[in-house]
């Protein structure tokens, strides 16, 4: 089985660390193929950036070798609904996978991340799934300044742990550490927080494995868009939309 | 006052007819500046196409001359939320404007359009506004084949009128004729259907006029994304995202 | 074009200041006709008072000269749904117009007003539109005592600004200053609060202009109540209900 | 115990038959005091009429002798929320009581009534309680013409039974016969429809009995509106609002 | 009339005090028949315990003498939906009855109880009724330790009063004291809290009286499960499920 | 890895066929341990039966050997929430897993099953997840008679295929064949229905694999119920509840 991990951010180091975690979480014989966005942003942190990166992500999926499932590896899931319509393999979103994992593990959940700049984008993922009533909120430090995302899991570790402790006290049975830069933090804090901790990368790759090989997407499905001519798109994406592949 | 009408579709004739209707609906002294998508699709009809066209639309807005408000002139509102985050003038979506007009005119509304291919995309607009309980549905002919969108308001006039009559009987007090190719149909059928009929172009340009000059968007607003470096984007859009303009 | 501004409160000075703001916000050639409630309350501040004032407001609309649209000029919109059913011109509610303006300007909004006595009534407007998930709440000073509504925008200016600042920090992208006595405050505080500020009077008159001339309300519409005999009502209202006009 | 049955309609015969049913449904020693609206409409059938009748109903409650609870005896509950705010005894709505009875008797319910003119008003009651997901709809004959409400339970008996049968087949476990003119029909059809049938009069008077004597409404309650001066209201209502009683 | 009060907890003293309160709240001639769970838990305080106790409660209802209505006398309503499906008399839940009483008495309500361990279970009752938007939350002391439930209404009286005062200040018009051990507290605090206070026992028995004798549950109803063979169940319950009674 | 498949129905043949399908869907080295309910019902088909079987299912989980995850193998998920609270391994529900799989594969889904008797129970699963807006309904043959569940996938194959075809035409992008007796039907009909077909067994075992090994459930988690003494329960379940294991 081959799973595509498409990082819509341009930061290669982030892709590498996610791929490492993902590979460790799938059964032997499952290959994780990682791709980094060739253009766009070092790190997406707004709905506007997600609109652009989502379109780039469709290109990445169109240009990839044949796979059994794909992951859009940015919490916030840029391009997710579009990708599902367009491709004939299952597509998993990192935020959606984490949230659906969380609701299967406990009653109410919270999302902890490193900057309030993410809050509107992450809340949009919660709302899109209709999980507002199960979610205690996106919990972040107050600081709105730009952060060095690369090492934020280390530099803000204590603050993030305290936020997780606080929201567990308020009733969150499950806590998601949201955002690619927090990959691995759930594992790191497992003994420190009296709640169930979810790592979105792990959640996403496990969902990709779960969906691959079931729920076949027949080309005949009525919800598949009709073939369409386009202008000025990346060639692979244009071919996909024209149903020439 | 200057209002940008950005058509995310590539069909210039459609832009022209929408601009004509829009100009007729604003007070003297208000200028409607129309732009047609330079790349993308002749006519967007899926969520996948909307993801791509939404990103193109952000470029169109970034490249436009200074305006007081902008309209994303495709029912389904590609890029709407992203545009609001990014620009310092109000941005109106054609579907959103039509729906918010409808709920101010009566109790329950329906959307009538010419092909079931649009249904998932249009329902997504209804759901995004939380108006599912007010909406009797997207009503379309059964035929799933590609249509010549250019003259569909004429070729399918009788069928669309009958659909509108039917849904009025079922309790729709207001009916939106959705999709740019149906521009003008509401006016055309006003004596034939015992309901209030909404034309999305007219609704959108009136909302653009309404929003321009109120609800100033201060550059200091906390919800404005931080300046961000990008790679490979259209120059005007990159400058906008970098806050260099 | 003629727009009726019907103030369901009895305070003439409030009507005058609202009419001034409204006139300034419409294009030349649009006339704002203002009316003050002939009976009822100096200033409505409960759901009970709104039930009564809403019925009085129907009389005011029935007695008015022919207009192209009407505004029910009390935040909370007494009689709005009833008026829409009864009259053949569009009717705008001040709270509804402000809320629908807010959701077109940003993601989440809050309503700031001067007394907690308003909270249940204003939240009812939010709930009636199904916008609970977009609204951070009605934010008020703690003080429950009766206030001199006439000059509250001045006497409580600092407190209201601080409340607006606080809720902007908590994630409100748009802030509505609710209640006729706060007319003009949005303009006054535009440089002090890092959020988009909405003035309900301006929002309402712009929506009235937007709705007039589109969405014609045919007398044949099925949702129009049947003619009905009544007893003891104001003569103009009775004639309207009997469809004798 | 004394329960006020306030009929916001002017039809005395309807009041009498409702009072008879209500008296039969309360324990001995409970007195039902019936009042008929002194002005307004023979039979309310729209939201506009309900706005007016709701204000009249507040007068009726203010003018009544001391009671332990009151019923607003029109399906649709004109003035209900306002009355609860204003008076210090519990107030029951006929539609609300029937719906809350229905949800305690089974899973999904439907409302059957005699004319589609009622649908928007009755659906508003369902929506106000947030029970849309439990309700299969308001089921009516197609005929929109005015009906002689007085004897509709007899003249349309077969049609109403067939509608009830049909919606039971579709999954309604509980069926409410809505509207004062259908009082007694639930009892009449109990052997004909394979579902649980609810009579709103009976439901309302039983809820009034249930609420009286529990949930005391202290005058000190914070949600009670402040005393307010008014102009031109019925004297008893003005005194109530001024807290002079 | 005979009303069964089935306490799914094993604590007989709790049953006795509830039966006393219930008997005082019904009209003369209404008999309250009390039963205590023969197995299970001294006091249910989790969803897991409610799953088990709910099944035991079905046995208790099957084994009871003929009644006109039954109360499941644990806040949280273990087995309520199942019981309604199975039995031909109305079944009332203590939490559901209290919540539906609260929403008939005022706008927004809160539930005050003695330990945060109850919060998830009680919130599930609110959510099951779709009353999340009306509910300000379950308000409890912080202390998570096991409590002596028997006398908690006395030992924690001051703390519970202060919680009620606080949530009334925050806008709760109605406050439910949740949990059988708080029976009687609403009466005790009526002069201390500026809100409407609801006692669940009283609410439940009044609802049982209200439902008995209306909404007859015909054996022919389509929602009644088909007769079913079972193995290893308590004999009376097995007979009930097999429709042998 | 060891996954427990607990069939709350007593039909061993059903367990065997589910275990076969499950084993085929997990990676080598993953063991599926199947258990059949020792008491209860041949086949659960109501909410009442689910209440009882859910409690039995907790016993089955308590008595099982150590596992990494468990599946409650009845569509409708009896005892799911309770099991999650009680056990320290992840617990998967067949309906919940199928629904969460469906929403990751497309926009709107439907559930097709063989008898309308299941509708209320299956709709309860949809509602519990808040997925009502995504679900087109539970689609079944009209026939309410008891069916031989053992071979229903064969005897009703054509009817079920036609129902699936019909709901795909109405807009269902994903179709779940609900109920253990339909195991395998999704695979069987994959070429006949123009939609994505989900098999709940496969969905459940894949989710169990996905959840096992992530989202560790620390014994310290605050949402874990306190140790509790019980009377008359199955010994293993009593020990679990007493935290003696």
Between CA A188 and CA A199 the distance in angstroms is 10
* pLDDT surpasses 80 at F149: no
B chain contacts of residue D120, beta-carbon cutoff 8 Å: 107-108, 171, 173
Token digits of residue A24: 């460790």
* Number of independent structural domains in chain A: 2
Mean of pLDDT over chain B: 94
pLDDT tens track for A147-159: 777 788 888 999 9
* pLDDT surpasses 90 at F65: yes
C chain contacts of residue D232, beta-carbon cutoff 8 Å: 38-40
Instruction: List the one residue out of D89, D71, D67 whose CA is nearest residue D80.
Output: D71
pLDDT tens track for E19-72: 999 999 999 999 999 999 999 999 998 999 999 999 999 999 999 999 999 999
E chain contacts of residue D203, beta-carbon cutoff 8 Å: 210, 214-215
Cβ of B42 within 8 Å of Cβ of A225? The answer is: no
- For residue B142, name the pLDDT band (cuts at 50, 70, 90): confident
What is the predicted pLDDT for the residue at A143? 79
B74 with B163, same domain: the answer is no
Count of CB atoms situated within 10 Å of the CB of B234: 18
- Radius of gyration over every alpha carbon of chain A, rounded to an integer in angstroms: 18
First and final CA of chain C: distance in angstroms?
Answer: 21
Q: Which chains touch A (3 or more CB pairs under 8 A)?
A: B, C, E, F
Q: Which chains touch D (3 or more CB pairs under 8 A)?
A: B, C, E, F
- 3 state DSSP class of D102: helix
B138 with B224, same domain: the answer is no
What is the predicted pLDDT for the residue at E219? 87
Residue D192 at interface with chain E, using a CB cutoff of 8 Å: no
Q: Which of C100, C210, C216 sits opposite B196 (nearest CB)?
A: C216
In the sheet that holds A31-36, the strands lie side by side as A31-36, A2-7, A69-72, A91-93
- 3 state DSSP class of E201: helix
- 3 state DSSP class of A151: helix
- For residue C55, name the pLDDT band (cuts at 50, 70, 90): very high
pLDDT tens track for A209-230: 999 978 888 888 988 888 999 9
Place of tokens 């609002």: D241
What is the predicted pLDDT for the residue at B38? 96
Instruction: List the one residue out of A211, A200, A244 whose CA is nearest residue A67.
Output: A211
What is the predicted pLDDT for the residue at B152? 87
Cβ of D51 within 8 Å of Cβ of C223? The answer is: no
In angstroms, the separation between the Cα of residue E149 and the nearest Cα of chain A is 22
What is the predicted pLDDT for the residue at F50? 96
Interface-testing mutation among F85, F107, F189, F215, with chain A (most A C-beta atoms within 10 A): F215
The DSSP annotation for B159-203 comes to HHHHHHHHHHHTT-SEEEE-SGGGTTHHHHTTTTSSSEEE-HHHH
Q: Which of C50, C58, C144 sits opposite D52 (nearest CB)?
A: C58
Place of tokens 């569940």: F149
Cβ distance B60 to B35 under 8 Å?
yes
C chain contacts of residue D42, beta-carbon cutoff 8 Å: 229
pLDDT tens track for F16-51: 999 999 999 999 999 999 999 999 999 998 999 999
Cβ distance C121 to C156 under 8 Å?
no
Place of tokens 């007016």: D52
Residue C108 at interface with chain A, using a CB cutoff of 8 Å: yes
F166 with F223, same domain: the answer is no
Share of chain F above pLDDT 90, in %: 82
Backbone angles phi, psi at C234, to 5 degrees: -55, 140
Cβ of D58 within 8 Å of Cβ of C39? The answer is: no
Token digits of residue C134: 């977009």
Region F131-145: what's the mean pLDDT?
89
- 3 state DSSP class of A44: coil
State which residue of chain D sits closest to F126, comparing Cα positions.
Answer: D133
The whole-model pTM stands at: 0.95
* pLDDT surpasses 80 at D82: yes
Interface-testing mutation among F113, F117, F123, with chain D (most D C-beta atoms within 10 A): F123
Token digits of residue E98: 């209290």
Residue F107 at interface with chain B, using a CB cutoff of 8 Å: yes
Mean of pLDDT over chain D: 94
Share of chain C above pLDDT 90, in %: 82
E80 with E108, same domain: the answer is no
State which residue of chain F sits closest to D106, comparing Cα positions.
Answer: F120
Region F133-146: what's the mean pLDDT?
87
B110 bridge partner residues = B175
C19 with C84, same domain: the answer is yes
Is the backbone of residue E137 left (phi > 0), alpha (psi -120 to 50) or beta? left
Cβ of F171 within 8 Å of Cβ of B120? The answer is: yes
Instruction: List the one residue out of C134, C188, C200, C121 whose CA is nearest residue C161.
Output: C188
Cβ distance B180 to B75 under 8 Å?
yes
- For residue A146, name the pLDDT band (cuts at 50, 70, 90): low
As a whole number of angstroms, the longest Cα–Cα distance in chain D is 55
Place of tokens 């927080």: A193
Could you tell me the CA-to-CA distances from E194 to B52, E173, E188 in Å, in that order?
57, 8, 13
Between CA A174 and CA A126 the distance in angstroms is 14
Cβ of A221 within 8 Å of Cβ of F173? The answer is: yes
- Residues 6 or more apart in contact with residue D24 via CB below 8 angstroms: none
Could you tell me the CA-to-CA distances from A162 to A158, A193, D130, E61 in Å, in that order?
6, 9, 37, 48
The DSSP annotation for F51-99 comes to HHHHHHHHHHHHHSPP-SEEEE-STT-TTHHHHHHH-SS-EEEHHHHHH
> CA-based angle A193:A198:A204, to the nearest 5?
170
Task: List the domain range (segments joined by +) for residue F173.
Answer: 95-200
Count of CB atoms situated within 10 Å of the CB of F169: 14
Interface-testing mutation among E40, E47, E220, with chain F (most F C-beta atoms within 10 A): E47
In angstroms, the separation between the Cα of residue F190 and the nearest Cα of chain E is 33
Task: Return the half-sphere exposure (C-beta side, CA atoms, 13 A cut-off) of residue E69.
Answer: 27
- 3 state DSSP class of E109: strand
Of C169, C184, C200, which residue sits at a domain end?
Answer: C200
> Using CB atoms and an 8 Å cut-off, which of residues 116-135 of chain A contact chain F?
129-131, 133-134
Mean pLDDT lowest among B139-148, E161-170, F127-136: B139-148
F13 with F63, same domain: the answer is yes
- Residues 6 or more apart in contact with residue B45 via CB below 8 angstroms: A225, A226, A228, B115, B117, B118, B121
- 3 state DSSP class of A99: helix
Region E208-229: what's the mean pLDDT?
89
Instruction: List the one residue out of E226, E111, F149, F215 whose CA is nearest residue A99.
Output: F215
Could you tell me the CA-to-CA distances from C199 to A204, B210, C121, D77, E64 in Å, in that order?
45, 12, 18, 33, 63
In angstroms, the separation between the Cα of residue E116 and the nearest Cα of chain A is 9
> Using CB atoms and an 8 Å cut-off, which of residues 197-236 of chain B contact chain D?
none
Share of chain D above pLDDT 90, in %: 82
Between CA C60 and CA C5 the distance in angstroms is 10
Between CA C226 and CA D184 the distance in angstroms is 26
- For residue C104, name the pLDDT band (cuts at 50, 70, 90): very high
Could you tell me the CA-to-CA distances from D128 to A133, B241, D80, D138, F171 in Å, in that order?
19, 44, 11, 15, 30
Between CA F16 and CA F5 the distance in angstroms is 10
Burial state string for F52-71 with b = 16 or more CB within 10 A and e = fewer than 16: bbbbbbbbbbbebeebbbbb
E8 with E25, same domain: the answer is yes
C chain contacts of residue D60, beta-carbon cutoff 8 Å: none
C8 with C103, same domain: the answer is no
Cβ distance F25 to F3 under 8 Å?
no
Token digits of residue F157: 């194959």
E196 with E107, same domain: the answer is yes
Q: Which of B70-74, B141-145, F130-134 has the highest average model confidence (pLDDT)?
A: B70-74
B52 with B102, same domain: the answer is no
Region F133-142: what's the mean pLDDT?
93
The DSSP annotation for chain F comes to -EEEEEESSS-HHHHHHHHHHHHHTS-TTPEEEEEE-SSB-SS--SHHHHHHHHHHHHHHHHHSPP-SEEEE-STT-TTHHHHHHH-SS-EEEHHHHHHHHHHHH-S-EEEE-S-GGGHHHHHHHHHHTT-GGGEEEEE--S--S---GGGHHHHTHHHHHHHHHHHHHTT-SEEEE-SGGGTTHHHHTTTTSSSEEE-HHHHHHHHHHHHTTSS---TT-TTSPPP---BSS-HHHHHHHTT--
What is the predicted pLDDT for the residue at D219? 86
Cβ distance E77 to E125 under 8 Å?
yes
In angstroms, the separation between the Cα of residue D146 and the nearest Cα of chain F is 35
* pLDDT surpasses 80 at B145: no
B183 with B210, same domain: the answer is no
pLDDT tens track for A71-107: 999 999 999 999 999 999 999 999 999 999 999 999 9
F215 with F150, same domain: the answer is no
Sign of CA dihedral D144, D149, D152, D153: positive
A chain contacts of residue C107, beta-carbon cutoff 8 Å: 120
Between CA E165 and CA A43 the distance in angstroms is 47
- CATH code assigned at C174: 3.40.50.12500
Place of tokens 């339970």: D153
Place of tokens 């603050």: A159
Q: Which of F25, F105, F221 sits opposite A196 (nearest CB)?
A: F221
* pLDDT surpasses 70 at B146: no
- For residue C146, name the pLDDT band (cuts at 50, 70, 90): low
* pLDDT surpasses 90 at F215: no
Share of chain D above pLDDT 70, in %: 98
Between CA A7 and CA A76 the distance in angstroms is 12
pLDDT tens track for A178-209: 998 998 999 999 999 999 999 999 999 999 99
Cβ distance D95 to D125 under 8 Å?
yes
Between CA D24 and CA D188 the distance in angstroms is 15
- 3 state DSSP class of D210: helix
Place of tokens 């009689």: C79
Interface-testing mutation among E109, E130, E131, E133, with chain C (most C C-beta atoms within 10 A): E133
Cβ of A233 within 8 Å of Cβ of B40? The answer is: yes
Could you tell me the CA-to-CA distances from A5 to A31, A60, A87, A245, F92 in Å, in that order?
10, 10, 15, 21, 26
D chain contacts of residue B108, beta-carbon cutoff 8 Å: 120
| H or E element at residue D139 | strand D135-139
Share of chain B above pLDDT 90, in %: 82
């Amino acid at each position: 089985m081959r799973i595509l991990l498409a990082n819509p951010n341009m930061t290669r180091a982030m892709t590498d660390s996610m791929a490492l975690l993902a590979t460790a979480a799938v059964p032997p014989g499952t290959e994780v193929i990682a791709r980094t966005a060739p253009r766009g942003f070092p790190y997406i942190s707004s709905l506007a950036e997600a609109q652009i990166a989502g379109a780039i992500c469709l290109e990445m999926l169109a240009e990839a070798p044949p796979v059994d499932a794909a992951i859009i590896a940015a919490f916030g899931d840029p391009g997710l609904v579009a990708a599902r319509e367009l491709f004939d393999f299952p597509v998993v979103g990192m935020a959606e996978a984490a949230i659906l994992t969380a609701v299967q593990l406990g009653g109410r959940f919270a999302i902890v991340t490193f900057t309030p700049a993410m809050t509107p984008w992450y809340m949009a993922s919660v709302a899109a799934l209709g999980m507002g009533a199960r979610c205690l909120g996106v919990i972040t430090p107050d600081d709105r300044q730009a952060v060095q995302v690369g090492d934020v899991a280390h530099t803000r570790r204590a603050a993030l742990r305290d936020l997780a402790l606080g929201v567990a006290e308020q009733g969150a049975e499950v806590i998601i550490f949201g955002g690619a830069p927090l990959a691995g933090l759930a594992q790191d804090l497992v003994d420190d927080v009296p709640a169930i901790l979810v790592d979105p990368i792990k959640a996403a790759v496990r969902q990709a494995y779960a969906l691959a090989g079931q729920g076949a997407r027949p080309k005949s499905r009525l919800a598949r868009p009709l073939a369409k001519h386009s202008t000025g798109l990346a060639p692979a994406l244009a071919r996909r939309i024209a149903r020439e592949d």
